[in-house]
Chain A
Amino acid sequence: DAGVIQSPRHEVTEMGQEVTLRCKPISGHDYLFWYRQTMMRGLELLIYFNNNVPIDDSGMPEDRFSAKMPNASFSTLKIQPSEPRDSAVYFCASSFMNTGELFFGEGSRLTVL
């Protein structure tokens, strides 16, 4: 398996624009997590899914953020409208319940000007 795949790796956009980050988890994994990493706050959980169902979205900063998982092999994190304070690295990770080991994607570095 190729591991967790995220796209884009880098995105630079202007304030107010819509941003969509994508994630393909490892096949067979039943948990998918979205994390955000900033210098100020470190790593934070935004939302996670179990079997494509959102379980805990309490980390989603505000209504501008939304996440979907339409099927077991794809998830999106959308920011609309984006703001400079959203600049961060966004990581997607997946795991299989029985082992619990997390596998991270390479991250999507977002810069909002």
Chain B
Amino acid sequence: KNEVEQSPQNLTAQEGEFITINCSYSVGISALHWLQQHPGGGIVSLFMLSSGKKKHGRLIATINIQEKHSSLHITASHPRDSAVYICAAETSGSRLTFGEGTQLTVNP
């Protein structure tokens, strides 16, 4: 069993739909990161959170420390949101353990 598991692995949505990607982890963490990897390969940090909820534009990230679970939500999805979304658990010493990623495709 991986220390960080994401679901679903693949997700196809229609433009405008509300999207949720889930991340469960089994290790103690100091923070949880959500990353976006574009089709061209570049990686961008979306959120780093250790409790509660963060919002940036149409993206919302939540974390439940007790349940060791985090979710990434995208409201009013758009084709430009198509990318791989990666959850990563930061353990002691700034070490990141990555999930396998969720491939999101948003169709117009």
**Do A and B truly interact?**
yes
Interface positions of A (Cβ within 8 A of B): 31, 33, 42-45, 48, 50, 55-56, 89, 91, 93, 95, 99-104, 106-107, 109
Q: Which of under 10, 10 to 19, 20 to 34, or 35 or more describes the interface residues of B?
A: 20 to 34
Interface positions of B (Cβ within 8 A of A): 31, 33, 35, 41-45, 48, 86, 88, 90, 93-101
Across the interface, do A101 and B43 meet the contact criterion of CB distance under 8 Å?
no
Across the interface, do A106 and B42 meet the contact criterion of CB distance under 8 Å?
yes
Across the interface, do A100 and B48 meet the contact criterion of CB distance under 8 Å?
yes
Across the interface, do A104 and B33 meet the contact criterion of CB distance under 8 Å?
no
Q: Is chain B's binding surface mostly helix, strand, loop or mixed? A: strand
In this complex, the member of B31, B90, B93, B94 whose beta carbon has the largest number of chain A beta carbons within 10 angstroms is B94
Question: What's the Cα separation between A102 and B86 when bound, in Å?
Answer: 13
- What are the residues of chain A within 8 A of B42 when measuring CB–CB? 104, 106-107
Question: What's the Cα separation between A23 and B45 when bound, in Å?
Answer: 18
- What are the residues of chain B within 8 A of A109 when measuring CB–CB? 41
